[in-house]
Structure 1
Amino acid sequence: MEVRESMNLEKKLQKSRLGEAYAGIHSDADRQAVLRVYDTLLKENDLSNKMLARHMAGSILPSVAMYRGLQEQGWKPVEARRLIRTSVLNASKPMAKFFQGLGKLPFFFPLFRVMCPASTKAGYGLEGWQFEWKRNDAHAIEWDCHACLYANVFRRYGVPELTPIFCESDDVMYGDIPGARWGRTKTIGRGDELCNFRFINTRSTPPGVTECREKPADQGKENQDEK
């Protein structure tokens, strides 16, 4: 790999959600292994769709490259996953702070009712996801996801164990929003048939709407692996 090409790939990784993880790799040989795999993955995937490319080049393929490249260098799978997980979750914290600030507004939930459909349409299109909207009213916003780009691509590359990391990143982003309780209980990445996205308006919760929170199952698994 030419020096200029290597530098360009490195810049892409540094700007991705795996930037912190890449910075935590101190061996040049390990870094080069990750860059080689990342280069191959970028070349073998169609990235002409800008919406899909943002997820593929910025989150999915860097994760696969790091997971495979580091294992080629002798890293244990749990060590590589831990590095990836920490980076992805930390990369989610700025958005978590944004939503937490937004949630303090008295008109947050009416605004959120507009934001959710708009953001899913713009950033999670039909080319990668299949959504079924269930509810969007003053009390709750609910939709099911029947197909997920992350789950599909990670499965295609034989690394489905990376998918729950990105499920957990949703927990980080949405888990502590004032005025909206995060109520997802199922995810494809954790073995369920669908992801049941759910936000409950805590300032206007009618009878019959239960308060529930998704159990971060993969986090527990990682903690067990680390022992």
Structure 2
Amino acid sequence: MSKLRIKKTVFKEIMIALQKQYGDKADDIYNQIEERYNELFSYAQIPPGKHELKCLKKSILPTIALFEITKDIDFIDCFLKIRYTKILKTYKIYGKLPFFFCIVRIMTKSIMTKSDEYDAEWVKDNKHEIKFNINRCYYNDTFAKYGYRHLCLLYCRNDEIVYGNMSENVAFIRKGMLAKGNNCCDMCFKQRKRIE
């Protein structure tokens, strides 16, 4: 199989983070990460879904390669926070809109219904609240398969940072997580003015 480079945007983000953390050693470390990524991808079970494949190539395998080469969970956590901060900035712009909950409701329903990364069961869906349980998560399943479920928790924690801070108008509530051994990730978005 020919070499598959880490997606350009991921490459750029990894290199910037490595340069900040490791200075002159960054190039050598990055080459090791890219080599390990290519090894991981060459024997990875390629998922049938296009969203799952994107997660594997853009998030899961780069994270595993980063961890296996650096062994630095704090560095990976910081790296992911940088990536998620960019997403949060975008949400915060739209989060000021008074009808932002309506946007969240429509987008979440659309994403979770079409996604092959998750199996979601809808619990509640009305103009003030959406609740759903994620009973299967490709991130959790794949990280666990590689023996790195603790890396999945970093993604879960960043969900809380992004969704919990994206708007004063919307609250994000999650009590259980598959990555922590719960039966599901119980996701809930509520309009804040409706929370007692």
TM-score bin, normalised by smaller chain = 0.7 to 0.9
Give the 3 Å change call, closer, same or farther, for CA 190–104 of structure 1 in structure 2: same
Structure 1 segments unaligned to the other structure (5+ residues): 71-76, 211-227
Asked if residue 196 in structure 1 is aligned to residue 186 in structure 2, the reply is yes
Matches within 5 A, 1:2-17: 8-9=5-6, 11=8, 13-15=10-12
Matches within 5 A, 1:15-30: 15=12, 18=14, 20-23=16-19, 24-26=21-23, 27=25, 28-30=27-29
The match for 1:139 is 128
From 75, 82, 89, give the equivalent of 1:83.
Answer: 75
1:43-75 superposed Cα distances (whole Å, 9 cap, x missing partner): 2222664311221111100011111123xxxxx
Report how far residue 84 of structure 1 moved.
0.8
**Which one has a larger percent strand, Structure 1 or Structure 2?**
2
User: C-alpha separation between the residues in 2 aligned to 1:158 and 1:94?
Assistant: 29
User: C-alpha separation between the residues in 2 aligned to 1:20 and 1:194?
Assistant: 35
Give the 3 Å change call, closer, same or farther, for CA 15–32 of structure 1 in structure 2: closer
From 154, 159, 178, give the equivalent of 2:143.
Answer: 154
The one-letter code sitting in structure 1 at the alignment partner of 2:92 is: Q
Bigger drift between 184-193 and 55-64 goes to 184-193
* Contact 1:138/1:204 (<8 A) preserved: no
SS in 1 for 2:174: coil
Asked if residue 164 in structure 1 is aligned to residue 148 in structure 2, the reply is no
* Contact 1:25/1:31 (<8 A) preserved: no
Give the length in aligned residue pairs: 190
The match for 1:55 is 55
* Contact 1:179/1:202 (<8 A) preserved: yes
1:161-195 superposed Cα distances (whole Å, 9 cap, x missing partner): 11110001101211122211111111111232210
The one-letter code sitting in structure 1 at the alignment partner of 2:35 is: R
TM-score w.r.t. length of structure 2:
0.85
Give the 3 Å change call, closer, same or farther, for CA 142–21 of structure 1 in structure 2: same
Report how far residue 13 of structure 1 moved.
4.1
Report how far residue 159 of structure 1 moved.
1.1
SS in 1 for 2:122: strand
1:9-59 superposed Cα distances (whole Å, 9 cap, x missing partner): 48464156x454444444244333212210011222226643112211111
User: C-alpha separation between the residues in 2 aligned to 1:48 and 1:139?
Assistant: 35
The one-letter code sitting in structure 1 at the alignment partner of 2:193 is: R
The match for 1:73 is none
Give the 3 Å change call, closer, same or farther, for CA 38–12 of structure 1 in structure 2: farther
Give the 3 Å change call, closer, same or farther, for CA 12–111 of structure 1 in structure 2: closer
User: C-alpha separation between the residues in 2 aligned to 1:39 and 1:82?
Assistant: 23
User: C-alpha separation between the residues in 1 aligned to 2:80 and 2:43?
Assistant: 24
Give the 3 Å change call, closer, same or farther, for CA 25–36 of structure 1 in structure 2: farther
The one-letter code sitting in structure 1 at the alignment partner of 2:60 is: I
What is the aligned-residue RMSD (CA, Å)?
A: 2.4
Asked if residue 184 in structure 1 is aligned to residue 174 in structure 2, the reply is yes
Asked if residue 69 in structure 1 is aligned to residue 64 in structure 2, the reply is no
Identity %: 22
User: C-alpha separation between the residues in 2 aligned to 1:151 and 1:62?
Assistant: 15
User: C-alpha separation between the residues in 2 aligned to 1:189 and 1:63?
Assistant: 16
Structure 2 segments unaligned to the other structure (5+ residues): none
